[in-house]
A and B are shown apart, each in its own frame.
Chain A
Amino acid sequence: MSTLPNSVQVLIELFARFPGIGRKTAQRLAFYLLKAKREEAVALAKAIIDVKDRIFKCSTCNNIAEVDPCPICTDPRRDHSIICVVQEPMDVLAIEKTGHFRGLYHVLGGVLSPLNGIGPDDLNIDGLLQRLESIQEVILAINPTRDGDTTALYLSKLIKSRNIKVTRIAQGLPVGIELEFADEMTLTHALEGRTNL
């Protein structure tokens, strides 16, 4: 290990911090870059800087975007009376791919998880409640896990107390399957078969 030049070691260390990347893979990635053309490496570096400099969170829906508010929130062709609540920006992507949802989104940024120190104040819940005025239905697209179930129940209590219809997609999703991994067909069925809470 110590025979590696310092700059290579640093690169390996940084890759190894990525989710799902172990030391071996980190080394492979680093050596790939060593071999790659200079332009390729520069393009990668620039892409990384761009996402950090140009990507913001939409102040309305909390999704990632280059402009604020994001294109979904400002799209007049979308149905502004329905909000689909999801855990992470990746879930927005998964649902958009089905092409079956034309409402707006709200990204919570996680689920309520007391054992991981995440309570109601740590999620973007107030932001959601502030958006409810002209809303007719809220769809909860929250994973059917232990924490997901608690979060969905909690949100439904808050939203229903304002006389707004709340539904949850879950039926089509096998228990334990995360939204982001569900295929488009499953997700489409889940959206159509949502249940009233």
Chain B
Amino acid sequence: MILKELKLLKFRRYSDRYFQFNQNINFISGINGSGKTSVLEAIHYLSLTKSFRTNINSEAINDGQKYFQIFGNFLNKQSLGLLINLNYSRTDGKRVIVNGIPETRVSDHIGKIPIVILSPDSVHVTDGTQSERRSFIDKILSQAFQEYFVNLLEFRRRLSARNQTLIDYFKKGKNHYDAFFESQDELLVQYALKIHTYRMGFQREFNLIFQDYFRQFSHISKTVEFRIIPNIEADDEEKYEGFCLRRLKENFRRDLISGRTSTGPQYDEIKIILGEHDIKPFGSQGEHKITQIALIFAEGKYLEKIKDEPVIYLLDDLFAYLDARHCQKIVDFIGKHNQVFITATDVKETLQYGFEKLKDAMVIDIGEGKIK
């Protein structure tokens, strides 16, 4: 997938701005606060219908305006055009229109434009909370499989309904696991099983790719593993629903007091094991970074394999985050086959890293409003 043109209307600090991009490397350059990250954010919106830095859409509306619009002109592997228009207005909410046809559900859109983002937040994959790590796999699987995304949404809604029921029962002093809970749980575990099955399949396939990249990028001789430790350990998938139901029932009293369901894939854990150890507490800084980069590449490679379409990479503040040698490696590696967007405060700095040798790279200087 390639983004050829982008138009931003009343988005962040842009009132009306048009961009044309290169099919390989695009440097988005400008001083701090000039709006570089906002360009990546807009592309992220077109792909995943949301921002990567806020959950509040109205924050992205240009100050004092009522709505924003983003237009993107994409071209896929078969040279088919995809004209995507995302509107968000304070009064009417969000709308996504693809080649003139409105998307009826978000789940119909996710995955059409596969992207991978590396931002300062990406560190959370190796050193963040469990929930941040889960969102790493959820983001990949949701783009890869529509069925996963739909199941995840349904699971989350059913889970919050169950939690609400726990709270209501607790308030009313009802403390029996009754037919109402039984009914909710029997339906809930069907979705839990789907999520579990996808995640386990992902783990198998993803590990091979991840380990391969890790070996390519590091001189670290340790083995590495992306490990999912499911909250429900069932030796085979047929037993999963039964196990899950039993645990939901066993933990009912405890859950009633906390008002939260403590059993299910919402508590799956993810560990990255380097050598013998969990990387989070034991990894060195360098090991964390190499692992994060290998994970990002593996994410892209995995998505490409499933979607059969090159992914677009969004690399925010790469230079602040990695040293020159690593940056160069990354850009060399993906710039050949994929379209890449890199933000940088200083073009000279990027050139100093040796990128001027890349003849295809395009520098878009938004700080001065010029396109070179």
Contacts and interface: CB of A to CB of B under 8 A. Distances in A.
B199 interface: no
B31 to A, nearest CB: 46
Contact of B182 (A113, A146, A157): A157
Contacts, number: 36
A155 to B, nearest CB: 9
A150 B168 contact: no
A157 B165 contact: no
Nearest to A121: B172
Nearest to B163: A114
A119 B168 contact: yes
Interface stretch (B57-65, B73-81, B154-162): B154-162
Contact of B184 (A117, A150, A158): A150
Interface in A106-150: 112-115, 117, 119-120, 146, 149-150
A44 interface: no
Contacts of A146: 154, 157-158, 161
A133 to B, nearest CB: 20
Contact of B187 (A115, A117, A120, A150): A150
A153 B164 contact: no
Interface centre among B164, B183, B186 (most CB of A within 10 A): B183
In which size bucket is the chain B interface? Answer: 10 to 19
Given A146-B154, A146-B157, A146-B158, A114 B183 contact: no
A153 B183 contact: yes
Contacts of A157: 179, 182-183
Contact of A119 (B158, B165, B182, B183): B165
Secondary structure call for the A interface: helix
A186 B184 CA distance: 28
Contacts of B187: 149-150, 153
B102 to A, nearest CB: 17
A149 B157 CA distance: 13
Contacts of A32: none
Contacts of A113: 161
Given A112-B180, A114-B168, A119-B168, A153 B186 contact: yes
Given A114-B161, A157-B179, 20 more contacts: A112-B180, A114-B165, A114-B184, A115-B157, A115-B160, A115-B161, A117-B168, A119-B180, A146-B154, A146-B158, A146-B161, A149-B187, A153-B186, A153-B187, A154-B179, A154-B180, A154-B183, A157-B182, A157-B183, A158-B179
26 contacts: A112-B180, A114-B161, A114-B162, A114-B164, A114-B168, A115-B160, A115-B161, A117-B168, A119-B168, A119-B180, A120-B180, A146-B158, A146-B161, A149-B187, A150-B161, A150-B183, A150-B184, A150-B187, A153-B183, A153-B186, A154-B179, A154-B180, A154-B183, A157-B182, A157-B183, A158-B179
